[in-house]
Amino acid sequence: MKQGREPRGFFGKRLYQLQHAPRPVFRAVLASGGSALIYTLIYLAYDLQVERALRDGTSLLNILGGADLRAEAAALLVLFTVVSGSVMTFLIVPQPAADGRGVQRSGWSAALGLFASLPIAYLALVVESQFLKPLLLGL
């Protein structure tokens, strides 16, 4: 620690950790966030289509699935985000080999992707249902 500098407080430490995230964690969050973005946009299109059909009183038979399957679609969004986030993190976060030459793949990278993708998937659902859907239905 530099001379004359006081130790960081609780919020100062958290801000420093946020600004200097380890590269594997950043990659895991980026992979999970990218896949969640794609699946959320697909879910948003389906959700808006069902919502407009219900508001207009038209038949749901013209909609994909023929019924209101938004709960199942949300579960698929979470599942696909978790699986693709884990696989992509497994592929882009290698660990150094023990001999120092090259890299190796490990299940720990996939676990890192799993733990990063779960909260991101649910945050994507919250953003979709609380912000994007009401904004686009109001147009």
Structure confidence at residue 2 as a pLDDT band (50, 70, 90): low
How confident is the model at residue 1, as a pLDDT?
A: 52
pLDDT at 138 over 70: yes
Give how many domains the chain has, as a whole number: 1
> Measuring CA to CA, how many Å separate 137 from each of 76, 113, 129?
23, 33, 11
Confidence at 57, pLDDT banded by 50, 70, 90: confident
Each residue's pLDDT tens digit, 71-93: 999 999 999 999 999 999 999 88
**What is d(CA 106, CA 95) in angstroms, rounded to the nearest whole number?**
7
pLDDT digits (tens, 9 = 90+) for 27-50: 889 999 999 999 999 999 999 999
Please say whether the beta carbons of 96 and 90 come within 8 A: no
Residue 17 lies in a domain: no
The confidence score (pLDDT) of residue 90 equals 92
pLDDT at 41: 97
Give the pTM.
0.81
Q: What angle do CA 29, 30, 32 make, to 5 degrees?
A: 65
**Quick one: pLDDT at residue 83?**
96
Q: Which domain holds residue 91?
A: 22-137
Look at residue 52 and tell me if it is in a domain.
Answer: yes
- Phi, psi angles (nearest 5°) of residue 96: -65, 145
Inside any domain, residue 58:
yes
d(CA 38, CA 85): 12
The verdict on residue 7 lying in a domain is no
Q: Band the pLDDT of 67: cuts 50, 70, 90.
A: confident
C-alpha dihedral sign at 16, 17, 23, 28:
negative
Tokens of 100: 């120092």
